[in-house]
């Protein structure tokens, strides 16, 4: 899987999010900035992102994803 494909999946699941993904084709790191994270616990933020890629993880197409979630205020 390519980094841009992973980013596109996350953007589709979290419209309006700023998404940056790096990785080697098997292991990826995503930094996601979204208003949707306002007021959420860290685990709920992670779940929002993981829900966007759940089918790819279940199929094995996406092996590992490390996620950093930020609100716009935290990112600036």
For 64, the domain range is 3-75
CATH number, domain with residue 58? 3.30.300.90
State the helix-helix crossing angle for 42-59 and 3-13, rounded to 10 degrees: 130
65-70 average pLDDT score: 97
Q: Name, in order, each residue with C-beta under 8 angstroms of 16's C-beta and a sequence gap of 6 or more.
A: 34, 35, 36
pLDDT digits (tens, 9 = 90+) for 21-58: 999 887 899 999 999 999 999 999 999 999 999 999 99
Considering its fold, how many domains does the chain have in total? 1
The CB density around residue 57, as the number of other CB atoms within 10 Å, is: 13
């Amino acid at each position: 899987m390519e980094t841009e494909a992973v980013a596109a999946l996350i953007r589709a699941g979290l419209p309006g999010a700023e998404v940056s993904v790096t990785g080697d084709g098997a292991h990826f790191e995503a930094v996601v900035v979204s208003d949707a994270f306002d007021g959420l616990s860290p685990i709920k933020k992670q779940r929002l992102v993981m829900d966007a890629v759940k089918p790819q993880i279940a199929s094995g197409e996406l092996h590992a994803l490390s996620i950093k979630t930020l609100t716009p205020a935290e990112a600036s």
